Amino acid sequence: MKLAIFGIRKFWTRSATYVSLLVAVVLICFEFVGIGISYHSTTAEERSTLIWFLTFPGAFEAVLTLVFAFVALIGLIYMATAAGSEWTWGTLKVAVTRGHPRWQYTLSTFASLSIILLVGLLITYAAGLAAALVGASIAGISPGNPADPAVLPDVLVKLARCWIGLLSLTSVAYLITMVAKSQMAGIGAVIGYFMVSIIAPALLPDFVKEIFKYLPFSISGDAIGLQGPPGTASSASAVEPNMALLIAIGWLVACLAVACLSVERAEVSG
């Protein structure tokens, strides 16, 4: 617990944390303001989707959809950067020489980053809700009731599932960085994998597509259980949300276990 608290203090004071959070907030705000501005220049059919983005309770899910997309990519890069600093700055070596178990330090570091990711998720989500209200005002439509207590339980559940999905996703970056002992290796690998996971399914046979939908970049999004705008068909390749959540947790546990094993076997002192 002390190591995790120390890690939160250590990572929270770094400029990369604030820059990553600022980028996520700016992106989500620009997105909803842009939707509000473009509302009157769209067709009647397109407006039905934009209304879902800008009016509550649909906006709760719309904001979470975009927040997950933005925070996922930024979180991957941030996780790889933070984990790589444990090697380049020598903090892991210092912890080992002071007698801290390697696996314990590896897990506590990820726990610290997980808490920071949760705070970033909540701040970005709150900013997105405010931006949806601004977007509705720009569009000149009623935003509905964002304070409806009836939808709060579902919102909290989906936020929790989103956090777990993000942890599963970013654990891949954490694993790669810890194994490679390099920030650039982690960032390059996760961005490359992210691009392949988007492009490859459209070019590969169906049986390969079946494999791709169970990989972290796909399964973490399915775990949230987002429905999308009314009238849109859900993806045929989507995994049932509860099953997806279990698989995402499995990926999280597996990545952390391999990361711990890698650090246990690595040469960190000299």
Residue 101 has pLDDT above 90, yes or no: no
Give tens-digit pLDDT for 62-73.
999 999 989 988
Q: How far apart are CA 181 and CA 262, in angstroms?
A: 10
What is the structure's pLDDT at 84? 85
Cα separations in angstroms, 45 against 206, 232, 236: 32, 12, 23
pLDDT band of residue 268 (cuts 50, 70, 90) is low
Residue 260 has pLDDT above 70, yes or no: yes
Q: How far apart are CA 249 and CA 158, in angstroms?
A: 15
Average pLDDT over residues 44-60: 86
Average pLDDT over residues 2-23: 83
Give the 3-state secondary structure of residue 266.
coil
Average pLDDT over residues 121-146: 93
Output the average pLDDT for the chain. Answer: 85
Look up residue 8 and give its two tokens.
């939160």
Cβ–Cβ under 8 Å, residues 99 and 30: no
What is the structure's pLDDT at 197? 66
Look up residue 144 and give its two tokens.
């509905």
Give the 3-state secondary structure of residue 240.
coil
Q: How far apart are the first and last CA of the chain?
A: 27
Q: How far apart are CA 242 and CA 77, in angstroms?
A: 27
More confident residue, 18 or 92: 18
Q: How far apart are CA 77 and CA 184, in angstroms?
A: 9
Non-local CB neighbours of 226 within 8 Å, separated by 6+ positions: 61, 64, 65, 68, 158
What is the structure's pLDDT at 235? 45
At position 124, the amino acid (one-letter code) is: T
Q: Which of 113-127, 132-146, 181-195 has the highest mean pLDDT?
A: 113-127
What is the structure's pLDDT at 119? 94
Give tens-digit pLDDT for 159-215.
999 999 999 999 998 999 988 887 787 778 777 776 776 676 667 677 666 777 888
What is the structure's pLDDT at 211? 76
Give the 3-state secondary structure of residue 73.
helix
Give the 3-state secondary structure of residue 227.
coil
What is the structure's pLDDT at 236? 44
Domain residues of the chain, as ranges?
Answer: 2-265
Average pLDDT over residues 141-145: 89
Cβ–Cβ under 8 Å, residues 172 and 193: yes
What is the structure's pLDDT at 217? 80
